[in-house]
Amino acid sequence: MNRLPKRAAALAKKELYSYLKAPAFYGAAVFFLLFCSVWLFYFQRYFTLDTASLRAYFAAFPLVFILVIPVITMKSWAEERKTGSVELLLTMPFSEGDLVLGKFLSSLAVLAMMLTLTLPLPLSLLPLGDFDGGVIVCEYAGALLLGASATALGLLFSSLSKNQAGSFLGSAVALMAVMLINQLSLSFNLPRGLTEAINFISLSFHFESFSRGLIDTRDLAFFVLSTVLFLFLNMRVILFRKWS
């Protein structure tokens, strides 16, 4: 029972070291921090809102994830396939579950580091108003869950791609679709059933309750199940490549 977590953890540690040596990680981290800050202070004009809330800040996360997540995940499988090292990896004593979980944990750890780097901004704003700490914690939890589902989707596209460019473009387009599709229901007067179907598959729609400081078990279940689904599909792709 403990073999899979141990093997996956060992692989995740190796992958994490490779991320920290890659310039793309630092570029994505800087872009992430700058985008969120510019969004809050320039586009949202935070100091004119006169409210002790960071909801406007976290509203940028689904947008910036469209570009940041593909940068994190694009080399995970695509680079292994391009260099041919994926064949060597599949001959090692790792199951498909070990490999997929290890790469997912390392990518999620990188995203968690980026989220941690955003903490100085809300901490610097806390003395300026009566902020609800519980709401901020809930918003960060929602951002991590949103990132987990988006990361699993990015890894799936990385496993389907032959190179990093294809992985990035495929992941970015897919994430743009699942992040922004709920805007259709806001912009057009669609039938109720269609609106509910669109909102159900939208990652940003399920993030909205967390951004308000509410933990809806339906949204929590959606993020967990969607992450598991994307990882399962990733395993099937790797298994197919192993025996093809």
As a whole number, mean pLDDT of residues 119-134 equals 91
Q: pLDDT (tens digit, 9 = 90+) per residue, 61-102?
A: 999 999 999 999 998 887 777 776 776 777 777 788 888 999
Domain that holds residue 68: 3-243
Q: What CA–CA distance (Å, rounded) separates 103 from 158? A: 11
Q: How many structural domains comprise the chain? A: 1
Task: Dump the DSSP string for 26-43.
Answer: HHHHHHHHHHHHHIIIII
Q: What CA–CA distance (Å, rounded) separates 121 from 242? A: 46
**Closest listed residue to residue 159, CA positions, set 203, 201, 103:** 103
pLDDT(2) > 80: no
pTM of the predicted protein model: 0.92
- Rounded to the nearest integer, the mean pLDDT of the chain is 89
